[in-house]
Amino acid sequence: MKKEVFIKRSHINAPVEEVFKWHSRPGALERLSPPWDPLQVIESMGGIRKGARAILKMKAGPIPFKWIAEHTDYEENRLFRDRQVKGPLAHWMHTHRFEPDGRKACFLEDRIDYALRFHPFGNFFAGDMVRNKLEKIFRYRHITTARDIAAHLARGESPPVNILISGASGVVGSALIPFLTTGGHRVIRLIRRRPGSKEKAVCWNPATGYLTPDDLNGINTVIHLAGENIGQGRWTRAKKKRIIESRVKGTSLIARAATELKPLPELLICASAIGYYGNRGERILTEKDGRGDDFISKVCYEWEKAAAPAVEKGIRVVFLRIGIALTPAGGALAKLLLPFQAGLGGKIGNGRQHMSWIGIDDVIGAMHHVMINDEVEGPVNVVSPNPLTNLEFTETLGKVLSRPTLLSVPAAAINLAFGEMGREVLLSSTRVRPEKLLKTGYRFRNPDIEEALSHLLGIGN
């Protein structure tokens, strides 16, 4: 067995105590998992202290496997260490080391001592691949750690917030919750089944109107993300009814429940979409622009209007008009990756329709910005300040993946296959500017499309 050593060391502009604390909180494993190579925490016992164990579900390419890790050493604000008990490697020891650099900064070092199976063949065939994968993963982890901690410390020390979240298992919710819990906040999920004894969750049913306000006592902030997926399949009459009702009934139920709480929650954040503006061609749209005439415009209008009880009660309400949220973990980018990686990608229709996109980390960042800025209310466009055409997006994704993008999908084929959904979701042009985010000082993590795709896909320097 030949042992190898990998080390990643970074300077973090935050006190060593804060960086160590961030790693010790629930959600750190999920937050550090890159979206192109996600892991699932099946069980975690004991945090990061000596004797703690974690059971993870991971993949080597398309092949799933379990990884069992045991923590062997713990020195508060200095280090913790875990080793592989069960997994694909012959040996794995991971030392997380924290070194102060004055009172307001520190060094974060990850050291991996590892060995591949079947030496020397394992090293010959997979040695470079494993090292390159470690480089990508820990580059992502250190960038994410530094950015997340900077966001949480942006307003100095602040008390933890009790946050209720619907749609917690969706693409946005799955990324948002670990961000919040590693920041020290307490998250309660709204779910449609009876929660287990150890779950931080509350049962609700938007279809029947079931939600007991007494279960929500102490909630400071409500984040409502739940709703029927609009981007799957044709919009039949039944599908359109589900799309509207899932949003209107759910939002109305949450808004009414919020008004019955004592004390009232300080903030209600409701997901919406840039579909509110409809197909507007080349026109640059801000929060001051009115609704469009499309089906999705009607959905978004009714969706936002359903929060009226909370607005009338004086609760600060924010409607996040989210653009095309990019992450390989789900949504549009996840669907495009396979054909583009196979060299079968290309523009949709004439490619001139504008795509107002945003990386998943900036979706989360915008939500947090709204939480900590009391002056932000009403509609907020959650998009990059740099929208682009479908053709420009296609060419950039091909460039990042080093694949040709010579093919295209004619508008007639989209219309034939998807009907109204295809016209409004794939062929519609909506050029949106995040006016409120920019005016209130939000700093985008990845405002450039090539930079965002490289970060999300673990490609580049």
Query: Cβ(431)–Cβ(283) under 8 Å?
Result: yes
Assess whether pLDDT exceeds 80 at residue 87. yes
Looking at 230-239, 306-315, 408-417, which range is the least confident one? Answer: 230-239
pLDDT tens digit sequence for 341-398: 999 999 999 999 999 999 999 999 999 999 999 999 999 999 999 999 999 999 999 9
Pairing of strands 221-224, 162-166: parallel
Who wins on pLDDT, 117 or 365?
Answer: 365
Looking at 48-62, 136-150, 241-255, which range is the least confident one? Answer: 48-62
User: 399 pLDDT band (50/70/90 cuts)?
Assistant: very high
Mean pLDDT throughout 413-427? 90
For 32-76, the DSSP string reads TS-TTS--EEEEEESTTSTT-EEEEEEEETTEEEEEEEEEEEEET
Looking at 132-136, 225-229, 294-298, which range is the least confident one? Answer: 225-229
Mean pLDDT throughout 145-154? 95
Would you kindly state where each structural domain of the chain is located, as residue ranges?
Answer: 3-152, 162-457
Q: What is the structure's pLDDT at 124? A: 38
Mean pLDDT throughout 88-107? 96
pLDDT tens digit sequence for 154-169: 876 678 899 999 999 9
User: 46 pLDDT band (50/70/90 cuts)?
Assistant: confident
Longest dimension (CA), the chain: 70
User: Distance between CA 72 and CA 83 in Å, rounded?
Assistant: 7
Backbone angle region of 376, left / alpha / beta, with phi > 0 → left and psi within -120 to 50 → alpha: beta
Mean pLDDT throughout 57-69? 86
- Give CA separation, 299 vs 92, 165, 275, 291, 410, in Å: 51, 21, 8, 10, 27
Q: What is the token pair recorded at 97? A: 């080391």
Assess whether pLDDT exceeds 70 at residue 446. yes
User: 73 pLDDT band (50/70/90 cuts)?
Assistant: very high
pLDDT exceeding 90 applies to what percent of the chain? 82
Q: What is the structure's pLDDT at 1? A: 67
User: Distance between CA 326 and CA 332 in Å, rounded?
Assistant: 7
Radius of gyration, alpha carbons of the chain: 23
Q: What is the structure's pLDDT at 157? A: 61
Q: Do domains 3-152 and 162-457 have the same CATH topology?
A: no
User: Distance between CA 209 and CA 189 in Å, rounded?
Assistant: 17
Mean pLDDT throughout 46-62? 89
Assess whether pLDDT exceeds 90 at residue 3. no
* Per-chain mean pLDDT for the chain: 93
Q: What is the structure's pLDDT at 461? A: 56
Q: Which residues contact 262 (CB under 8 A, 6 or more apart)?
A: 217
Coil vs helix vs strand at 396: helix
Mean pLDDT throughout 47-56? 94
pLDDT tens digit sequence for 182-231: 999 999 999 999 888 778 999 999 999 999 988 898 999 999 999 888 88
User: 294 pLDDT band (50/70/90 cuts)?
Assistant: very high
Query: Cβ(5)–Cβ(130) under 8 Å?
Result: no
DSSP-assigned beta bridge partners for residue 59: 64
Assess whether pLDDT exceeds 60 at residue 121. no
CATH architecture, domain defined by 3-152: 2-Layer Sandwich (3.30)
Pairing of strands 221-224, 346-348: unpaired
Looking at 108-112, 207-211, 265-269, 306-310, which range is the least confident one? Answer: 207-211
Superfamily of 162-457 according to CATH: NAD(P)-binding Rossmann-like Domain (3.40.50.720)
User: Distance between CA 353 and CA 121 in Å, rounded?
Assistant: 51
